[in-house]
Amino acid sequence: MMRSMAEPYPFAEFEWQTALLDARAHRLCARAGGDVRIDCAVEGASFIAEPAAPQDSVVIMAYNVERGYHADEQLRALRQDPTLPAPDVILLNEVDRGCSRTGYRNLAAEYARALNMCYVFGAEFVELPRRGGNGGRIKSPCEHGNAILSRYPLGNVRLIRHQANVSWRRRVVPVLRIGEPRLGGRMALAADVRIGRLLLRVYSVHFESGRHFAAHRREQALELIDDAGDLPHPTVIGGDMNVGAYLADLREGTAGEPVTQAFAERGWHDAHAALPAAERVTTNSGAVIDFIMGSGPRFTEAGIGPAATWANLSDHRPVWARISLA
C-alpha cells in the first residue's frame, strides 16, 4: 500500500550558496579519524529560474557520469535523446570537483546550471595525487562524489558516510605511482524533494565495488533502508550499486545477489523489474549495476539510455523511472 504523500514532516530547505567557490582552491573535506572517516561539508546552489509547477508524476534519473570526462556531451544527449523523458530529479555518481583530470571543473554545479536545476554535492573521496591508471592522473588532491539535482526545492540534506567501509588509501602501485589512492569511503547523499505540498525522499548512492565486498554492499543498502524506515513519505534509493552478480540472477531466475535481496526482503521495488534481462544492461561491460529502488512510490514506466547514444559518454548508461504522485 502506498504511504501518504501529505506533508506532516518538517522540511528545511538547503541554504543555497549565493556564489560558487573556486573548486580548485576551496575544499569541502578535512581529514579526520583515519583514512575513511573524513569530515566533508555539503555544497549546493540553485539555478532554478522559476519554481517548477507540481505535476501528477516526476521522472527520477540515476547516472554514473564517470568523473565527468564527457560532461558537455552528456548534457547534449540529455537534451536531445528522444528516448529519455526530461528528468525532474537526477542522482549523479562519480562526479569530480576541482580535479585535474577533468579540467578542475565543478561538474555538479555545471550540470545544474546547464539544466536550470538546484543541486547538492557530497564528497565520497579525496582523490590523492598519482600518475594515472584506472583513476586517471591527479596532480593535486581533489574531491569526487555524489550529487542530487532537482527542478524542485531540496531540503533535509545529509551526507551519510557508511559504517561498513573499505580504505582506498593504499590502492596504488608504489613504483609506478598509478592506481586509485584516496581518503574517504562510500557514502550516500540524502535529501527531501518538495513537490508542491508533497515530499519525496531520495538517496544518491555508490556502493562499494569489488567481488570480495558483497557483504559491505549489503550492509550499506540495509543502513539506508533503515534510515528511511520511519519516513511518512515515499523514498527512492538510486545509483551505482556495483552488484555484478545480479545479471546471473536475472538470466537464471535465482535470488543470490545480496543487495537486491536486501531490498526485496524489506519490501522495496525495482523500478526496472518488468524489463527483460537482455534490456537491463547498464554498463559498457555488460553488467546490471545501476538501479532505482522505491519504497512507497508507484513506478509507472522505466527505461535505460540506449547504448547507441550513451556508450561513448561514460562507462555507465543513465537509468530512469517515472513515479506517480496521484
Query: How many separate helices (H) and strands (E) can be counted in the chain?
Result: 6, 18
Q: Alpha helix locations (H) across the chain? A: 71-80, 107-115, 214-227, 246-252, 258-265, 307-310
Instruction: State the amino acid at position 204 in one-letter form.
Output: S
pLDDT at position 159 is 98
pLDDT of residue 132: 84
pLDDT one-digit tens code per residue, 244-285: 889 999 999 999 999 999 999 999 999 999 999 989 999 999
pLDDT value at position 58?
97
Residue 24 lies in a domain: no
Would you say 14 and 237 are in contact if contact means Cβ atoms under 8 Å apart? no
- What pLDDT score does 175 carry? 58
The count of structural domains within the chain is: 1
pLDDT for 15 equals: 97
Q: What is the mean pLDDT of residues 222-240?
A: 96
Which tens digits make up the pLDDT trace of 34-76?
Answer: 789 899 999 999 999 988 999 999 999 999 999 999 999 999 9
Element (H, E) at 158: strand 154-161
Nearest to 38 by CA among 127, 131, 130, 133: 127
Work out the mean pLDDT of the chain and round it to a whole number. Answer: 93
Q: What is the CATH number of the domain that holds 240?
A: 3.60.10.10
Share of the chain above pLDDT 70, in %: 94
Question: What is the pLDDT confidence band of residue 176, given thresholds at 50, 70 and 90?
Answer: low
140-170 tens-digit pLDDT: 999 999 999 999 999 999 999 999 999 988 7
pLDDT of residue 1: 36
Q: Which domain holds residue 271?
A: 29-316
Residue 48 lies in a domain: yes
**Residue with cell string 545479471:** 247
Q: Is residue 23 part of a domain?
A: no
Assigned domain for 307 exists: yes
Q: Using the predicted structure, report yes or no on whether residue 6 has a pLDDT greater than 80.
A: no
Residue 22 resides in a domain: no
The answer to the question of residue 258 being in a domain is yes
Tell me which DSSP letter residue 255 carries: -
**Is residue 273 in a domain?**
yes
84-128 pLDDT, tens digit per residue, is 999 999 999 999 999 999 999 999 999 999 999 999 999 999 999
Which residues, including other chains, have CB under 8 Å from residue 198's CB and lie 6 or more apart? 5, 6, 7, 54, 233, 325
Helix (H, G, I), strand (E, B) or coil at 61: strand
Please compute the mean of the pLDDT values over residues 177-197 and round it to a whole number: 92
- pLDDT of 33 higher than 70: no
pLDDT at position 7 is 47
How far is the C-alpha of 286 from the C-alpha of 259, rounded, in Å? 19
User: Does residue 20 lie in a domain region?
Assistant: no
Please check whether residue 98 is in contact with residue 70, taking contact to mean a CB–CB distance below 8 angstroms. Answer: no
Q: What is the rounded distance in angstroms from the CA atom of residue 51 to the CA atom of residue 28?
A: 28
Beta strands 269-270; 298-304: pairing state? unpaired
